[in-house]
Amino acid sequence: MEVISHAQVYNNCYIQEELMDISSGPCSSSINGITSSTGKPPAKYSDPSTIEPPASLHELITRLHEVFESDDISVEYVQKLMTSYKSNRKEWKKYAKFDQFRYTRNLVDAGNGKFNLMILCWNEGQGSSIHSHANSHCFLKVIDGKVKEELFEWPDSEGTMKKCAENEYDKDQCAYINDSLGLHRVENVSHINKAVTLHLYSPPFDVCQCFDERTGKAVTSKVTFWSKYGRRTPFGRNPDEAGCCVIENN
């Protein structure tokens, strides 16, 4: 069982080598077999079988706040909780803001500084570049449409980056990644349907690394919100403030 430990947060990032022991190796998209290296007793929120599905997005947010009040949280528990929420467009449509040129990041809840919950909106053919997650835990749940995720190993030299897995996620499926598992790229490959995804990041971050697939070279990118709590922000209004690692429509 992998544990999200708030006690390991330092300067808004996780001390990766103390947090977890990734027994499944780099670029694994599965969380099975991942164990905590802290030697602590089981986390309070550690048994996914005890989860009752939240009846609404509001209840999901309330439950997430309760979970993240704990110092140690099971990754499997959070993933199951997010998976168990059944998407209802009426509950999240106020946060779903699309842009014709790039995908958008729309803040839903700031999580008292322990997590950010946001909705990402993908027009047809839009996607991210290959990117890291600043030592944050990342949960991605599809709430409308379908997305493709490509997983990559961290580059250890210049040259074409190695893709090690590819997954497609349908509505109500939930994926998980952190930097120990590798890097990823997310894309709405449909040319006729939009896609909407619900993301949780713990701890929150405002910069990440974006990678050139051909060379493996990285650049640091500041991430911004297209909207907060359903209201447009002043950020991201020009191409120089596009947010996190954006690919325009294909």
HSE (CB half, 13 Å, CA atoms) of 171? 10
Cα dist from 89 to 93, 143, 171, 195, 209, whole Å: 5, 8, 12, 12, 32
Distance CA 245, CA 250 (A): 15
Q: Are 184 and 177 in contact (CB under 8 A)?
A: yes
Distance CA 11, CA 168 (A): 34
Q: Are 135 and 178 in contact (CB under 8 A)?
A: yes
Q: Are 117 and 61 in contact (CB under 8 A)?
A: yes
The tokens 């040129």 sit on which residue?
Answer: 101
- Is 131 annotated as contributing to ligand binding? yes
- Is 58 annotated as contributing to ligand binding? no
Distance CA 158, CA 121 (A): 32
For the stretch 212-230, what's the b/e string if a residue is b when 16 or more beta carbons lie within 10 angstroms of its beta carbon?
Answer: ebeebebeebebbbbbbee
The tokens 């958008």 sit on which residue?
Answer: 104
* Binding-site residue positions for Fe cation: 131, 133, 184
Sequence ranges of the binding site: 131, 133, 184
